Chain A
Amino acid sequence: MRMNEEERKLVEMVLSGRTEAFEPLVRPYRRALLALAFRLTRNLEDAKEVSQEALLRAFKYLRRCDTSRSFRNWLFQIAANAARDRARRSLGERGALEDAARDRRPDPGPETGRSEAEFRSGLMACLTALSPREREVFVLRDLEELDIKETARALGCSNISVRVHLTSARRKIRERIRREYPHLEKGR
């Protein structure tokens, strides 16, 4: 997938000094970026910081953006790197993930209440079962639907490495759903 013509023009505008063009360039991806960061960090505050960091890096290094490539995927690559950097810095990542799995969701509305909490904690529990690398691969390939090649590029690893981690991630997800969420596997 390539960068579309409108995005290319906006990139050129930003690079020529019209920084106001950056907002319309990234606005279409602001939710997707936040969702990706949330799935990787499993914490809303961290997700917002990772998203901000990703946007800042995207702005700073926009000149490096390859226009023959999807802008969304480039942005996701930066976000994945930012999330990894943050995870390295933060201690007790595992503990934070487990906290998140215990239904730590952002600002639940009273009317959306229980079913949303169930969905979110269900997905969190699945992702918690994965190693950081498996989680990155699974989120990018299976939830964000990047292909194997783009996933590998985003994570800076080989296609083979992506396939290996994807295989183990899918096995774990399947086991997790079968063991702890049998009602989900059967379908509601």
Chain B
Amino acid sequence: MTCRQAKRRIPLLAGGDLSPRRSRATQRHLVSCPDCRKELEATAAALEEARALARREPELDWSEPEWRTVLARIVSEGTPKRRAGVRRRLKPAMAASLASAVVLAGIAVVLRNSIFRPGESRPGPAIETAQVRGPGSPVIPGVEPEPASRTPKSLPAGQDVVSVTLVSEETGLQVVWFFDRNFEWKGDDK
């Protein structure tokens, strides 16, 4: 072992934190190297002095009324908690997204059960019928005109698309969903 290697290990050796194998190897070097031995003694002495300084420090303590006040506050403020479950670890944004998804899914189910009911038409406040397809009508990707013979009787003649507009009160963001008469989702527009 070289002096450089030994000196790297001396701070840990001085505090007894070197593994037995490394400690033995370093000790073997120290036997034959007075310079490194001196370094070890100085480090151990400094370490002991720092510990002695810490021991001689006047002991800090709480006054009894202060301690009682602190404990009373802790017991009144805190309640031992259960381990954090999966739900507790959900971030607020994720929770909001999840809630929005649930609400939208609920709306979709309601619409599916009400809009395309045969022989009945119940337009709601958030439901608007799309313009009849024709020249100049907005092009909806993926939606192809259906033959008139397959159009349900409940829909106005020629209508094969229903749009649902969702408007966020907070952000003003509008999302329009387009469905065909079988309530197959055909696209959206923001």
Contacts and interface: CB of A to CB of B under 8 A. Distances in A.
Interface of A: 14-15, 19-20, 22-23, 26, 30-31, 34-35, 38-39, 44, 47-48, 52, 55-56, 59-64, 106, 112, 116, 119-120, 122-123, 126, 141-143, 148, 163, 166-168, 170-171, 173-174, 177-178, 181, 184-185, 187
Contacts of A31: 59-61
Interface string B24-67: 00000000000000000011011101110110111111100001
Where chain B touches its partner, the secondary structure class is helix
Contacts, number: 119
Contacts of B61: 30-31, 34
Interface stretch (B70-78, B89-97, B112-120, B182-190): B70-78
Given A141-B15, A142-B15, A171-B11, A177 B46 contact: yes
Nearest to B60: A34
A62 B80 CA distance: 6
Kindly list the 8 A-B residue pairs having the minimum CB-CB distance in the complex, ordered from nearest.
Answer: A170-B11, A174-B46, A123-B53, A60-B78, A167-B11, A177-B46, A59-B78, A119-B56
A148 B80 CA distance: 30
B46 to A, nearest CB: 4
A91 to B, nearest CB: 25
26 contacts: A14-B80, A30-B67, A31-B61, A34-B61, A35-B59, A38-B60, A48-B62, A52-B73, A55-B70, A59-B75, A59-B78, A60-B80, A60-B81, A63-B83, A116-B58, A119-B57, A122-B53, A123-B54, A126-B53, A141-B15, A142-B51, A166-B17, A170-B43, A171-B11, A177-B50, A187-B49
Given A22-B74, A185-B49, A30 B15 contact: no
Contacts of A38: 60
Contacts of A14: 80
